[in-house]
């Protein structure tokens, strides 16, 4: 739609210039907008205002000249000059009827756009350390990552959803020791549980499972010479719990990459050598450094510590190097906002290899403050006392939880009060949208019982009885869905879908309040309104699917 109008305006401008009505050499960008107010038309352009200075004339006069060169067009009802110099376009009803027929026909495919044109994108998200269950903050990242991935897919991108597992290094040693201590504790050795270890009750459960499997076999092992079996057992138990929780949250991954495998494959050494070749590696105080300051970082970063051990950064650099090699056109990392200080050094890697670091997008998920009755709940994994994602999902429901996370931009902080969400659950916006879908399903079922059945290959003749402003308004909103998907994908802002769906539901509910769909004495209008309702249900279903939320037929 916008593209067509753009072409029309452009050709008019060219004609006007040939005729000498317009003098400027440089053509301003033709921007077609959707005005906020209905009386300003379906679309508008500010092109005349942009040309005012170069033309040295009043914007309204230029707009009038453009209009006078605009001939009749099959989709345009009328155009007018308005306000300071806008040109507003009003499209014909027949155009909207065609759009509606298209939506009904496209059904589950409606909302797929071509913005991505087969470009390969990787979205890495959650990537929580396997040292404990996921908490609510991880849940937000999971919801954003999963929804964004679905939206990018709809927008034509070839998406790989990936989880990076930090399963090596000091925190894994701590994890193993934590299990060791719980194990010995359960076997009756009165050792005091050390500080700075993972104290959560989940470690006791894992220790019990460990005893079930291994008995007292490792009772005589020493902490210093900690058998690897402790670490491996804890890692795999926790990781499978994480996978289960994500699945229950409707979050799937295509690839799970283990940090240990990156290290074992020698990618860290390889990457360091590659960087050395770029002349950005040096030694100081017995450690090996990456001169990230060459690329705008605050300070240089250590890759290999003086004690010979890798830093976490070293394997992360190798991992991102691997991402580059895998040929993604775009790499999207979704991180907790507390990691924002980390982005300079990762971007440094991209820049060191002459990669446009625009290929890397980092989305920061701001803090979720979990509250219960207004009181903050600790979310420290080591502190032991925390509410897991699973507990929250069990309490408020998967759909409400997923949708709630989409109710604000990722870069805004979020208070999540469990008691409040629980109380408000029935009034949560998600139910408003789902209710709209259920209501339409109910209407269509009733219509069917009365003998009205909508044909699958309806053309616009079926919907041309739709003339009411309520009806046209609804069609226009439906037609905008593709633009919303595209915008949401390109801006990487999944919340746009959630807000759109609420607006769509509101317009339908309002339409419903004023009009009957099933009219025993007017078969044609009944079919037309059934088609309209069907289209609304389709868009709601498609949109909710992108958010990982179900569209129930009954509630």
Partner RNA sequence: GCGCCUGUAGCUCAGUGGACAGAGCAUCGGCCUCCGAAGCCGAGGGUCGGAGGUUCGACUCCUCUCAGGCGCACCA
Orientation of helix 469-479 relative to helix 523-546, angle to 10°: 30
Distance of CA 332 to the CA centre of its chain: 11
Burial group, residue 158, by CB count within 10 angstroms (0-12, 13-18, 19+): middle
Binding segment for RNA (CB under 7 A), chosen from 141-149, 265-273, 319-327, 432-440, is: 432-440
Report the residue from 380, 413, 461, 469 that binds RNA according to the rule CB under 7 A.
Answer: 413
Least distance to RNA from the beta carbon of 225, Å? 21
Spatial strand order of the sheet with 368-372 comes to 375-376, 368-372, 414-417
Cα–Cα dist 355/85, whole Å: 43
CB 551 within 8 A of CB 545: yes
One of 29, 56, 354, 426 touching RNA (CB under 7 A): 426
Residues 473-512 that bind RNA (CB under 7 A): 493, 495-496, 499, 502, 506, 509-510, 512
For RNA, the binding residues in 327-366 under the rule CB under 7 A are: 337-342, 364, 366
DSSP 306-346: TTSPBPHHHHHHHHHHHHHHTT-SEEEEEEEGGGGGGHHHH
Residue 187 or 442 having the CB closest to RNA:
442
Q: Residues touching RNA: how many (CB under 7 A)?
A: 88
Closest approach of Cβ 216 to RNA, in Å? Answer: 31
Give CA separation, 508 vs 39, 171, 193, 529, in Å. Answer: 20, 52, 59, 11
298 binds RNA, rule: CB under 7 A: yes
Identified binder of RNA from the candidate list 74, 192, 225, 427, rule CB under 7 A? 427
Q: Which residues pair with 91 in a beta bridge?
A: 76
Q: Shortest Cβ distance from residue 215 to RNA (Å)? A: 31
**What's the min distance (Å) between Cβ of 37 and RNA?**
6
308-327 footprint of RNA as x/- string (CB under 7 A): -x-xxx--------------
Given the complex with RNA, which of 34 and 204 has the nearer CB atom? 34
Q: How far is the CB of 254 from RNA (least distance, A)?
A: 23
Choice from 236, 306, 378, 448 touching RNA (CB under 7 A) = 306
What's the min distance (Å) between Cβ of 34 and RNA?
A: 5
Q: Are 34 and 476 in contact (CB under 8 A)?
A: no
Q: Toward RNA, which CB reaches closer, 229 or 506?
A: 506
- Asked whether 462 and 115 are in contact (CB, 8 A), the reply is no
Query: Scanning residues 156 to 185, which ones bind RNA (CB under 7 A)?
Result: 166, 169-171
To RNA, the closest distance from the beta carbon of 385 in angstroms equals 17
Q: Strand 330-336 and strand 301-304: pairing?
A: unpaired
- Binders in 89-128 for RNA, by CB under 7 A: none
Among 247-255, 304-312, 326-334, 386-394, which window interacts with RNA (CB under 7 A)? 304-312
SS (H, E, C) 14-76: HHHHHCCCCCCCCCCCCCEECCCCHHHCCEEECHHHHHHHHHCCCHHHHHHHHHHCCCCCCCE
* Nearest distance, CB of residue 89 and RNA, angstroms: 9
CB of 68 to RNA, least distance (A): 18
Torsion of CA 262, 265, 267, 268, to 10 degrees: 70
User: First CA to last CA across the chain, in angstroms?
Assistant: 36
Q: How far is the CB of 81 from RNA (least distance, A)?
A: 9
- Of 159, 441, 546, 551, the one binding RNA by CB under 7 A: 441
Q: What x/- string results for residues 204 through 233 when contact with RNA is judged by CB under 7 A? A: ------------------------------
- Residues 20-59 interacting with RNA (rule: CB under 7 A): 33-37, 39-41, 44, 46, 49-50, 52-53, 59
Angle, helices 523-546/136-154, rounded to nearest 10 degrees? 130
Interface with RNA, residue 371, by CB under 7 A: no
> Looking at 83, 229, 293, 468, which residue binds RNA (CB under 7 A)?
83
Q: Could you tell me what percentage of the chain is helix, strand and coil, using 3-state DSSP and rounding each to the nearest 5? A: 55, 15, 35
Residue 374 binding RNA, by CB under 7 A: no
Round to whole Å and give the CA distance between 480 and 273.
51
Nearest to RNA of 53, 247 (CB atom): 53
Mask of contacts with RNA, 56-75, x by CB under 7 A? ---x----------------
CA separation for the pair 271, 278 (Å, rounded): 11
Q: What are phi and psi of 136, to 5 degrees?
A: -65, -35
**Sign of CA pseudo-dihedral 427, 432, 433, 437:** positive
Left if phi > 0, otherwise alpha if psi is -120 to 50, otherwise beta: which for 85? left
If the CB atoms of residues 171 and 257 are measured against RNA, the closer one turns out to be 171
Among 278, 467, 516, 523, the residue binding RNA under the rule CB under 7 A is 516
Judged by beta carbon, residue 165 or residue 331, the one nearer RNA is 165
Q: Measured from the CB of residue 139, what is the shortest distance to RNA in angstroms?
A: 16
Partners of residue 86 on adjacent β-strands = 82
- Cβ closest to RNA, residue 21 vs residue 337: 337
Q: Of the candidates 12, 86, 148, 318, which one interacts with RNA according to CB under 7 A?
A: 86
Q: Which stretch binds RNA (CB under 7 A): 225-233, 246-254, 378-386, 408-416?
A: 408-416
Residue by residue, what is the 3-state secondary structure of 230-273? HHHHHHHHHHHHHHHHHHHCCCCCCEEEEHHHHHHCCHHHHHHH
Residue 515 · residue 473 · CB < 8 Å = no
CA 6 to chain centre: 29
Q: Which of residues 269-288 bind RNA (CB under 7 A)?
A: 284-287
């Amino acid at each position: 739609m916008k593209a067509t109008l753009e072409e029309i305006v452009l050709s008019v401008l060219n004609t006007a210039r040939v005729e000498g009505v317009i003098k400027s050499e440089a053509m301003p960008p033709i921007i077609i907008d959707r005005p906020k107010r209905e009386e300003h038309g379906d679309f508008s352009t500010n092109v005349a205002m942009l040309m005012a200075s170069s033309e040295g004339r009043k914007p309204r006069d230029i707009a009038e000249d453009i209009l006078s060169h605009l001939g009749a067009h099959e989709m345009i009802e009328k155009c007018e000059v308005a306000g300071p110099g806008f040109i507003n376009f009003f499209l014909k009803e027949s155009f909207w009827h065609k759009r509606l027929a298209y939506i009904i026909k496209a059904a589950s495919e409606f909302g797929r756009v071509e913005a991505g044109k087969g470009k390969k994108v990787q979205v890495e998200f959650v990537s929580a350390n396997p040292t404990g269950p996921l908490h609510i903050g991880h849940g937000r990242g999971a919801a954003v990552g999963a929804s964004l991935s679905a939206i990018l897919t709809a927008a034509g991108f070839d998406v790989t959803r990936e989880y990076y597992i930090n399963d090596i290094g000091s925190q894994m040693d701590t994890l193993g020791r934590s299990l060791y201590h719980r194990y010995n504790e359960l076997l009756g050795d009165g050792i005091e549980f050390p500080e700075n270890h993972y104290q959560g009750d989940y470690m006791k459960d894992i220790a019990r499972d460990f005893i079930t499997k291994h008995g007292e076999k490792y009772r005589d092992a020493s902490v210093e010479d900690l058998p690897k079996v402790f670490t491996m057992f804890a890692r795999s138990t926790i990781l499978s719990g994480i996978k289960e929780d994500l699945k229950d949250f409707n979050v799937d991954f295509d690839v799970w990459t283990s940090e240990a495998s990156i290290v074992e494959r020698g990618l860290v050494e390889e990457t360091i050598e590659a960087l050395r070749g770029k002349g950005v590696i040096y030694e100081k105080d017995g450690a090996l450094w990456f001169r990230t300051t060459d690329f705008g970082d605050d300070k240089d970063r250590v890759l290999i510590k003086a004690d010979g051990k890798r830093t976490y950064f070293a394997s992360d650099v190798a991992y991102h190097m691997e991402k580059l090699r895998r040929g993604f056109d775009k790499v999207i990392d979704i991180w907790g906002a507390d990691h924002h200080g980390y982005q300079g050094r990762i971007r440094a890697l991209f820049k060191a290899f002459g990669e446009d670091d625009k290929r890397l997008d980092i989305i920061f998920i701001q803090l979720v403050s979990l509250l219960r009755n207004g009181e903050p709940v600790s979310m420290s994994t080591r502190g032991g006392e925390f509410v897991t994602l699973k507990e929250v999902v069990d309490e408020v429901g998967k759909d409400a939880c997923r949708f709630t996370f989409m109710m604000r931009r990722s870069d805004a902080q979020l208070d999540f009060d469990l008691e409040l969400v629980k109380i408000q659950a029935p009034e949560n916006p998600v139910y408003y949208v789902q209710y709209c879908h259920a209501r339409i399903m109910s209407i269509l079922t009733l219509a069917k019982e009365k003998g009205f059945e909508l044909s699958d290959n309806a053309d616009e003749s079926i919907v041309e009885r739709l003339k009411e402003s309520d009806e046209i308004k609804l069609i226009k909103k439906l037609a905008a869905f593709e633009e919303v998907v595209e915008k949401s994908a390109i801006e990487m802002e999944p919340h746009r879908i959630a807000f759109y769906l609420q607006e769509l539901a509101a317009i339908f509910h309002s339409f419903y309040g004023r009009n009957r769909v099933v009219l025993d004495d007017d078969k044609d209008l009944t079919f037309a309104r059934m088609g309209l309702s069907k289209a609304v249900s389709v868009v709601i279903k498609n949109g909710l699917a992108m958010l990982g939320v179900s569209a129930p037929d009954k509630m």
